[in-house]
Amino acid sequence: MPTRFARLAVGVTCAMVAWTSLADDRTAGAPTFTESEIQIILSHGPWPMPATQDKTNRVSGKPEAIEFGTRLFFDARLSRVGDTSCATCHVPERNWTDNQRRAIGRVVVDRNTPTVSNLSGSRWYGWDGGADSLWSQSLRPMLDERELGATPKHVADLIRGDEQLACRYRRTFGETPPAKNDEAIFVNIGKTIAAFLETLVSGRTPFDQFRDALARGQPPLSGTYSDAAQRGLKLFIGKGGCMNCHSGPNFTSGEFFSTGLSRFAPNGKPDAGRIEGVRKLLASRFNLLSAYNDDASGELAKQTHQLVVDKKTTGEFKVPSLRNLVLTEPYGRDGSIDRLHDVVRHYSELDPLRLHAKDGKPGTPLKLNAAEQRDLVVFLESLSTYNNGWRPDDGGPCR
Ligand code: HEC
Ligand code: HEC
């Protein structure tokens, strides 16, 4: 952790030095924002967003479920040989990632570990959108041979056989874990873990303070948001076009695009991305079209109903949130990019043949100069805080 702080501090210092040496340059100093730019900045807040309840999960928001889910997330007994828990890869103090290029469970998996904070209210989960609910996404790693490598029977037997876990199951679902029907227990465990994950919301950042001052029509408190961060913000919402995809309070539209950012295919094979995600989702026993969806209105299953396998989505990945990035290097779906500078350089110099907009037309490189690239990085860093949204509390023993 100290090295991370140091690196962040060095990054900020470099930007300050650059700023001083550019004092005569017209890119230096605080920018002014037009009324329409202010409206866009306001759309990136307020933060945190109001908590939402997941209607497809009947224990969403229930305190007993949250407590139980907290324990399960850290419990390696959920894995077949007892060596891997969710927290093996989603490490709290690493903003719920592992800082590896590609996740390492029982073996190396295909993709970089994303954070599990700020997910409440999302439409699709996973880099390829292979799940349509937080609870079904939470079931996937339990079954994956490379991750927890378990079975519904293994999980159900663990819950039935452990007094504390069985007690918590009873408190959460109002019934003893049934002697038969392993799958029902298994799905309920996914819903319990999802109830815990919904509570993870990263803390307020320097950007949020700046945004809220603008919302109140006040100038930001002097010295709280650097000129470089403000210039980077102006690029982000203007010339950079970043907010077309990284939109809203969580800096993601939740949609899928091909950016050419992750260059290296895992295991030498191209990663099909969204098209395979849709195939997986439609074939899943645990999607919102299944009987495990607790939303009787069927409202939330509509989008799943409308999904089609579309060749044009090959190689598309979900737009990630940009909050707390300073804790989650390396970057990109394949973890091939080491620093935020390198991400920004990619967008700045990107090969038009690699980036295709939804209409199929090649994108254009942004051609940001070195000072602009530095400003954009300082802005991205201002979306981070060392608060990972978690206050450990497992509620003590269950009686
Ligand atoms: C081996 C490391 C590893 C383990 C163990 C692991 N995960 Fe993950 N997790 C990943 C990776 C890699 C992804 C991205 C998967 C993809 O898109 O293909 C991911 C994605 C997710 C997501 C989706 C995040 C998003 O942005 O949509 C959630 C939620 C999640 N994991 C929860 C869990 C839970 C709950 C457990 C324990 C039951 C768990 N994970 C265990 C590596 C891991
Ligand atoms: C066309 C939509 C789109 C635009 C425009 C866009 N991004 Fe992205 N961004 C994505 C997608 C999709 C990914 C994940 C791609 C991957 O890894 O293959 C991503 C990934 C990132 C990441 C890595 C995050 C992580 O956790 O790994 C950063 C940082 C980032 N973008 C910043 C920016 C900045 C800065 C701009 C503007 C210069 C920008 N993006 C413009 C869609 C977009």
pLDDT in tens, 181-230: 999 999 999 999 999 999 999 999 999 999 999 999 988 888 899 999 99
- The pTM (predicted TM-score) of the whole model is 0.92
For residue 82, is pLDDT > 50? yes
Judgement on whether residues 81 and 145 belong to the same structural domain of the protein: yes
Dist. CA 220 → ligand 1 center (Å): 38
Ligand 2 atom 3 nearest Cα: 245
Q: Answer whether 244 contacts ligand 2 (Cβ < 6 A).
A: yes
For the record, the structure tokens of 87 come out as 């927290």
Q: Which ligand is nearest to the CA of 338?
A: 2
Cα–Cα separations (whole angstroms), residue 250 to 92, 106, 182, 213, 217: 19, 32, 36, 18, 22
Judgement on whether residues 256 and 373 belong to the same structural domain of the protein: yes
Which numbered atom of ligand 1 lies nearest the CA of 138?
A: 35
Nearest Cα neighbor of 238 from 48, 372, 383 is 372
Judgement on whether residues 108 and 156 belong to the same structural domain of the protein: yes
Whether 305 is in a domain gets the answer: no
Ligand 2 atom 40 nearest Cα: 242
Nearest Cα neighbor of 41 from 379, 398, 381 is 379
Distance CA 257, CA 161 (A): 45
Dist. CA 258 → ligand 2 center (Å): 9
DSSP state of 256: E
Q: Domain of 103?
A: 63-197
Strand 317-318, strand 256-257: pairing: antiparallel
Nearest Cα neighbor of 236 from 250, 249, 251, 222 is 251
DSSP state of 258: B
Determine the pLDDT at residue 25: 42
Percent of the chain surpassing pLDDT 90? 73
pLDDT digits over 233-249, tens only? Answer: 999 999 998 999 999 99
Q: Which ligand is nearest to the CA of 123?
A: 1
Ligand 2 atom 2 nearest Cα: 245
The count of domains in the chain is 2
Whether 293 is in a domain gets the answer: no
Q: Answer whether 121 contacts ligand 2 (Cβ < 6 A).
A: no
Determine the pLDDT at residue 389: 85
Domain closes at, from 197, 232, 258: 197
Judgement on whether residues 84 and 24 belong to the same structural domain of the protein: no
Determine the pLDDT at residue 365: 78
Percent of the chain surpassing pLDDT 70? 88
Judgement on whether residues 219 and 365 belong to the same structural domain of the protein: yes
Cα–Cα separations (whole angstroms), residue 197 to 44, 69, 255, 279, 390: 22, 8, 21, 25, 10
Whether 8 is in a domain gets the answer: yes
Determine the pLDDT at residue 260: 78
Determine the pLDDT at residue 363: 60
Dist. CA 1 → ligand 2 center (Å): 25
Which numbered atom of ligand 2 lies nearest the CA of 332?
A: 17
DSSP state of 267: G
Whether 338 is in a domain gets the answer: yes
Judgement on whether residues 99 and 115 belong to the same structural domain of the protein: yes
Judgement on whether residues 132 and 234 belong to the same structural domain of the protein: no
Beta bridge mates, 337: 331
Q: Answer whether 257 contacts ligand 2 (Cβ < 6 A).
A: yes
Say whether the peptide bond before residue 177 is cis (omega within 30 degrees of 0): no
Q: Which of 147, 246, 255 to mutate to test the pocket of ligand 1 (most atoms within 8 A of CB)?
A: 147
- Mean pLDDT in residue range 316-326: 96
Judgement on whether residues 358 and 213 belong to the same structural domain of the protein: yes
* 168, 174 Cβ separation under 8 angstroms: no
Dist. CA 119 → ligand 1 center (Å): 12
Whether 277 is in a domain gets the answer: no
**Residue 246: CATH number of its domain:** 1.10.760.10
List CB contacts of 266: < 8 A, sequence separation 6 or more.
102, 110, 111, 334
Dist. CA 13 → ligand 2 center (Å): 25
Q: Which of 116, 122, 146, 197 to mutate to test the pocket of ligand 1 (most atoms within 8 A of CB)?
A: 116
Q: Which of 60, 80, 86, 252 to mutate to test the pocket of ligand 1 (most atoms within 8 A of CB)?
A: 86
Judgement on whether residues 323 and 260 belong to the same structural domain of the protein: yes
Q: Which ligand is nearest to the CA of 277?
A: 1
Judgement on whether residues 190 and 212 belong to the same structural domain of the protein: no
Whether 304 is in a domain gets the answer: no
Domain closes at, from 197, 226, 243: 197
* CB-based pocket (< 6 A), ligand 1: 84, 86, 88-90, 103, 105, 109, 111, 113-114, 116, 119, 125-128, 134, 137-138, 141-142, 147-148, 193, 197
Distance CA 388, CA 201 (A): 7
Judgement on whether residues 376 and 340 belong to the same structural domain of the protein: yes
Judgement on whether residues 124 and 175 belong to the same structural domain of the protein: yes
Domain closes at, from 157, 177, 197: 197
Whether 327 is in a domain gets the answer: yes
For residue 287, is pLDDT > 90? yes
Determine the pLDDT at residue 72: 97
Determine the pLDDT at residue 258: 86
Whether 144 is in a domain gets the answer: yes
